Amino acid sequence: MSPYFITLIVNNQRYVLEIGNRPGGVKPSHTLAHTLRENLGLTGTKVGCNKGECGACTVLLEGKPVLSCLVLTVECDGKSITTIEGLEDSQTGKLDPIQQSFLESGAFQCGFCTPGMIMSVKALLSSSSSPTDEEIREALSGHYCRCISHYHVLEAVTRALHKSR
């Protein structure tokens, strides 16, 4: 049987991956979170619960936030994915204003939940230049953080909004 391949566009880079059981391949049962971390080495995407409850694994699929632990990699053939690694400027290394705002607001402790939160905020600010507090809370509602007050995160989002104006 001839091999079957899929293509993922991750952070503007094209990856062609073989589907199957061979070493380095992607099994039909593999999630996008698994493939990003284990095949592509993009470990900025975190896996907490691995069942859609914590938000840590959030990435953008065609610009929309998804829980990558619930998406099968084979479903993403030909699609564009952005992970936390894709937010900084690849030429200058400059952080995205949202990343910078999280740093300046001290909006994390262990940082495990942070990449997922930042990806959800990125999606929100890409679709709305002036979201209400309610919309910000709604966008962050699926993210579980065991370390800090979410008020720091809200401050970071407000700071990012000012930077983008």
> Which of 17, 32, 113, 156: binder of ligand FES (CB under 6 A)?
113
Q: Where are the beta strands (DSSP E) in 12-139?
A: 13-19, 58-61, 64-67, 80-82
Q: Smallest gap, in angstroms, from Cβ of residue 5 to ligand FES?
A: 26
Q: What's the number of CA atoms in the CB half-sphere (13 Å) around residue 54?
A: 16
Could you tell me which stretch among 72-80, 90-98, 140-148, 154-162 binds ligand FES (CB under 6 A)?
140-148
Measured CA distances, 156 to 94, 101, 102 (Å): 17, 5, 5
> Which of 47, 59, 123, 161: binder of ligand FES (CB under 6 A)?
47
> Which of 10, 36, 67, 140: binder of ligand FES (CB under 6 A)?
67
CB 47 within 8 A of CB 57: yes
Q: 13: helix, coil or strand?
A: strand
Nearer to ligand FES, 6 or 32 (CB): 32
- Does position 38 interact with ligand FES (CB under 6 A)? The reply is no
Q: In the complex, which residues of this chain contact ligand FES (CB under 6 A)?
A: 47-50, 52-57, 67, 69, 108-114, 145-148
